[in-house]
Structure 1
């Protein structure tokens, strides 16, 4: 098994993947075909090990070695976004590091990474789903060589999205320095030209400016034959359509994209926080549902978590207009939730991100299950429909570890067609999701139950929105018309 990591923007180096804790080269025991590939890519073929391998004294054969010094570094950075982004053997969500069917893994305790019970005997490190080899790519021809090698030798090939190219940390800084706006993910380490883009790509500005696939103008991609193709509206237009929403890594390895930048915009932003109780959570959801159409027409986008609060922003209202628009939310926060309410204006997307989103990072380094549903506008248009929507969401919100309401549908965007992302995006107002987590010592049976619970928890909302779809594909067995 091999892992490919693609370059996403011009002038950014592409790699298959590189480990911060192991730069071990494939040794002389590799077969002739691997030696040939290693020669073709100028010695950049690597043997890969799970991220936490140095902490374990017991491990499967030929997957690295115990190293207490490296282990200290790993335990200190186990939950760090940037470390996981640049490390080959580490994924943001660690269920993808495990072989879930066999429950073989190499994980630490995500609640306390230096907990020795997770990695001392009898715990053992296994390869899990981490590929055995990867290529550190320095040029597009390395990608071609790997793709052709995998094809000719019937070797499974997968693409690791981050570690190369431009992530949103780089792009937000670049955009701000050049007085433009590049809307993007709520986490800085997301690869801007990978699965985020090719799966649709939503942001807090999507209600006004559309999804990421709506703004992409061109792809450079290595396809399964090993050819490098340019896909846009004028050439390879069928591939261009497929890449605009058909899923990350589905049709090839994207090595470069060209996307439409927006003028720099100022953003009026509201942040609400409160100490939750079941009664307050229900009141919060009811309030948001009741005002959803109003907020959508004003261009508000962002993220709400019924257990903690919300962050919403709009480029369409100045601070005075935003104060008037959010007066009812401020009163509700003060009088019903007993929480805090702030409203500010920011001169750019970067300043909004650094002040409002960065303090609340998405958790990484832990395994989880994610179920979601796009909620159509029709579910908000009558009092009856709004009541039904609340009743469908509340039970799952009460039981889920992390319920999320994402106000990211492209409601005001003038869609011109040409994307393969699910049509449900175009008729929806909200993206509703629930997440549940487990740990290294959760049994296989318990994990099965967590998956089953997440699937059943979303069933009422799924039944209420039969013609909609799901954006995420975290539940393998969920019947959904995701993406295309």
Structure 2
């Protein structure tokens, strides 16, 4: 949705500078609360310093579960926006009333190229984290479909008032509360058994501001709604002409949600910083049900925490104001392929850039030397403000495809060939000749329809993976980088897909106010590669013992990278749900401050998600012991 000049006039008429969109003007009042005490606002000062509440959040089978009358009263408060949905996969199970084999076949076929799953209130693209309790399968013999790890009720939020009522109801009724936007979620933050979910997906809006001032910032900006996705932001940039905002690489990721709150990388990261670095102001509903603004002038601690401290942690962000640049950005880029083996190869996407035919390398040692050459060149890409891919894709029988992509935003067209020529010269010196490398320029903002190869549950999102940030210090020590290359080779030889996302959100790239005043993992300020190692096969249907065995095997391999990068960490938004030492791995020296802020703004621990700040005081108790959300949320310890 394109927000026009009418919005600016409306907000001005309302006389509320904190409002970015009309849906924020509709707020819960004491008159709304009336005799419905279940939606009363909270008072953080009244919360005991030592937890004295129930052991667990209540579940539907508990006697204290809200009555149908209470749910109906909440729905009335929400003007009918309370949903009680069933999992889409129910269509595949003969014992379910929703059973329809044609619908089931559609979900597994044509629907995967549509927006259907983004418009579903329950679907998370990573199904194993929910607990795989209602998988979409043509053959469901021996399996069941139950609500399981999915929320029971969903608030389809259309206003701040909806969010406030949901927050207050969940807190006062001892319900588990979760937040869902698009369903892009690797560690199951947006789902939970017995939960009330706040769904922000349909809060759409963007408005570009030619002149915006706050603190030391003077320049263009954009108001972005909580549910705005990257492809929608791109469409708005295309329509507006000379404007650029930083967005996710994956078009269907929510630009105004967990992407920015947890960091947020993309094609412009080395040049402009992370998504978190763009934020100038945020509007948020906090755990007491209040609506407030956080920026450099007010609620500064919360402003610090929300930029990199992780989504689903401090409240529900309703909108934000982010930096913008009053010009179009174009990106120069190229892709090349190196292969081993002589059989049929699956060639990954060239991501829209020109590529030469795949270069076949008969000798495995030469292939891995070429891989090491590309790793060595990664720092050059980051230092030029670029973004790269360097992925090793096992093809079976000890054969591989390597895809290397270099993208350079706002780079001088007459210099780009000079930039990448040293890479191909180094490859030529070891006998790998890439014929006629050629590049092209593409506009950064490209119109889209919000459908991608990972727009459906059970896609590549359901692969077990672990990530590690590779610090700049490796490039000052050739032997250590050699050792990293050897570990990655060994992992690929074991059948793992080893990927490199090359970007560096330095303090200089972050600029004001993101450089040293945000909760972004300090390890990200000195990184060159975000290395992710994937198990190729899906894990959503693995028995518990096999899942644990597969995870332990992969973790043992990644520990070799940890040993080589002891002062680094991992990226919260793309992390292992069983990440050890996760506090320092995700937030480093910032964690103590983040925990203090968390306890101050949410002393009820209402906003809980795995591996988020303060999450170790609660745990999901599952029957199989797996780290899914298919179980009650209970206090840890006795």
Q: Same fold (TM over 0.5)?
A: yes
2:576 is aligned to 474
How far 1:370 sits from its partner (Å)?
2.2
2:54 is aligned to none
How far 1:397 sits from its partner (Å)?
3.4
Are the counterparts in 2 of residues 438 and 447 from structure 1 also a CA contact under 8 Å? no
How many Å separate the matches in 2 of 1:280 and 1:340?
20
Distance change (3 Å), C-alpha of 1:58 and 1:342: farther
Distance change (3 Å), C-alpha of 1:181 and 1:338: same
Distance change (3 Å), C-alpha of 1:401 and 1:193: same
Could you report, residue by residue, the CA deviation over 1:122-156 in whole angstroms, capped at 9, with x for unpaired residues? Answer: 32212231111111122110010000000000000
Question: Is residue 2:311 matched to residue 1:260?
Answer: no
1:21 is aligned to none
How many Å separate the matches in 2 of 1:443 and 1:339?
47
How many Å separate the matches in 2 of 1:400 and 1:222?
45
How far 1:312 sits from its partner (Å)?
2.0
Are the counterparts in 2 of residues 221 and 256 from structure 1 also a CA contact under 8 Å? yes
What CA RMSD, in Å, does the superposition of the two structures yield over aligned residues? 2.8
1:168 is aligned to 230
* Matching residue within 72, 75, 83 for 1:38: 75
Distance change (3 Å), C-alpha of 1:337 and 1:195: farther
Question: Is residue 2:388 matched to residue 1:326?
Answer: no
How many Å separate the matches in 2 of 1:13 and 1:304?
43
Structure 1: runs of 5 or more not aligned: 1-8, 15-28, 99-103, 110-115
Are the counterparts in 1 of residues 246 and 278 from structure 2 also a CA contact under 8 Å? no
Are the counterparts in 2 of residues 206 and 301 from structure 1 also a CA contact under 8 Å? yes
1:181 is aligned to 244
Distance change (3 Å), C-alpha of 1:321 and 1:402: same
For residue 350 of structure 1, give the secondary structure of its aligned residue in structure 2: coil
For residue 135 of structure 1, give the secondary structure of its aligned residue in structure 2: strand
In the TM superposition, 1:5-24 aligns within 5 A as 10-11=20-21
How many Å separate the matches in 2 of 1:13 and 1:342?
48
How far 1:316 sits from its partner (Å)?
4.5
How far 1:322 sits from its partner (Å)?
1.0
Question: Is residue 2:545 matched to residue 1:438?
Answer: no
Report the TM-score, using the length of structure 2 for normalisation.
0.64
How far 1:95 sits from its partner (Å)?
1.3
1:123 is aligned to 143
1:90 is aligned to 123
How many Å separate the matches in 1 of 2:519 and 2:228?
24
Distance change (3 Å), C-alpha of 1:421 and 1:397: farther
1:417 is aligned to 516
For residue 240 of structure 1, give the secondary structure of its aligned residue in structure 2: helix
For residue 333 of structure 2, give the secondary structure of its aligned residue in structure 1: strand
* Matching residue within 90, 97, 117 for 1:53: 90
- Which deviates more from structure 2 when the two are superposed, residues 158-167 or residues 142-151? 158-167
Question: Is residue 2:290 matched to residue 1:270?
Answer: no
How many Å separate the matches in 2 of 1:74 and 1:362?
12
Are the counterparts in 2 of residues 187 and 361 from structure 1 also a CA contact under 8 Å? no
In the TM superposition, 1:103-122 aligns within 5 A as 105-109=133-137, 116-117=138-139, 119=140, 121-122=141-142
2:464 is aligned to 369
- Which deviates more from structure 2 when the two are superposed, residues 328-337 or residues 183-192? 328-337
How many Å separate the matches in 2 of 1:44 and 1:387?
56
* Matching residue within 529, 543, 560 for 1:460: 560
Question: Is residue 2:494 matched to residue 1:399?
Answer: yes
2:633 is aligned to none
Question: Is residue 2:321 matched to residue 1:293?
Answer: no
How many Å separate the matches in 1 of 2:438 and 2:277?
32
How far 1:205 sits from its partner (Å)?
1.4
How far 1:439 sits from its partner (Å)?
5.0
* Matching residue within 101, 111, 114 for 1:68: 101
